[in-house]
Amino acid sequence: MFKIGIIGCGNIGEAIVRGIINSGKIKSTQIIVSDIDPDRVEAVVEKYNVAGTSSNTRVIENSEIIFLSVKPKDLEKTILPVKDAFNNKNIIISVLAGVKISKLKNLIPKATVVRIMPNTPVLVGEGAIGVSFEKDINSSKKEELIDILRSMGVVVEVDENLMDAVTGLSGSGPAYVFMFIEGLIQGGIKEGLSYKQAKELAVQTVLGSAKLIKEMGDHPSVLRDKVSSPAGTTIYAIHKLEEKGLKDAVISAVSEATKRSRDLFK
């Protein structure tokens, strides 16, 4: 019997494997993976020393907690052929964007269903993961699952009706941050720095700033004001960012991504 099963070992599926193993809480020998692509299974098995199979039924029948990490469009063709293999001891953690718990429960009525929205930084153990649980889940089991998810990053529990907002903010959010970092790098290059110099400074500036706000707990505007000396360089730069509408653009980006998530999966 395996503790963790993973159906679908693409980028996110592999990130789940890596995060769980790196946490040291669950051994690689307690994990089994499957995928429609045998080469992906072979690569993950070789890299992480987990068990691998081409049979989703084997994963279901031999795992307590099963991460479902396939594309939303592939849900039914993945689950319908094996739905009778599920039992009331299975816990399904769905990574499928936009697929509601109720839909999964209709397909897999016996299993307990959890829905998560991770983002790509789970690949380095620094993900932001929104999670929603079906009603009446056992509290101790809930804490156990949250503890497993924390192996991949920060976990925030939300009502399921807010999962589209999680998608718009943190699910798509890395792309916004990458664009901002790209802008910092290009600005540095424009002013004479090499790409290597600009990249190192830009990445560390964003990383350090995020860590500062996380550890100090102050509102972002408070920390921003601490950097802004009277008539100094920073306040001139902030004025230009306000003039160009940076904050409004980011708010609009989150709202647009949230709306698109709702529209895609109505």
For residue range 83-132, list pLDDT tens digits in order: 999 998 999 999 998 899 999 999 999 999 999 999 989 888 899 999 99
Position 234 scores a pLDDT of 95
Q: Mean pLDDT over residues 236-263, rounded?
A: 95
Q: Mean pLDDT over residues 137-164, rounded?
A: 93
Percent helix, strand, coil in the chain, to 5, is 60, 15, 25
The model's pLDDT over 21-54, given as tens digits with 9 standing for 90+, comes to: 988 889 999 999 999 999 999 999 999 999 999 9
3-state secondary structure of 95: coil
Give the residue carrying structure tokens 């920060």. Answer: 154
Q: How far is CA 44 from CA 18, 38, 62, in A?
A: 10, 10, 19
Q: Mean pLDDT over residues 216-235, rounded?
A: 94
Q: How far is Cα 150 from Cα 36, in angstroms, rounded to an integer?
A: 27
Asked if 125 contacts 150 with a C-beta cutoff of 8 angstroms, the reply is no
Position 138 scores a pLDDT of 86
Position 33 scores a pLDDT of 97
Residue 158 pLDDT > 90:
yes
Asked if 42 contacts 101 with a C-beta cutoff of 8 angstroms, the reply is no
Q: Mean pLDDT over residues 228-240, rounded?
A: 95
Q: Mean pLDDT over residues 227-236, rounded?
A: 94
Q: How far is CA 106 from CA 8, 55, 92, 111, 120, in A?
A: 21, 22, 13, 10, 29
For the chain, list the domains and their CATH numbers: 2-160 (3.40.50.720), 171-264 (1.10.3730.10)
3-state secondary structure of 130: strand
Q: How far is CA 190 from CA 27, 39, 186, in A?
A: 49, 44, 6
Q: Hey, what are 49's tokens?
A: 């020393």
The model's pLDDT over 189-211, given as tens digits with 9 standing for 90+, comes to: 999 999 999 999 999 999 999 99
Position 136 scores a pLDDT of 83
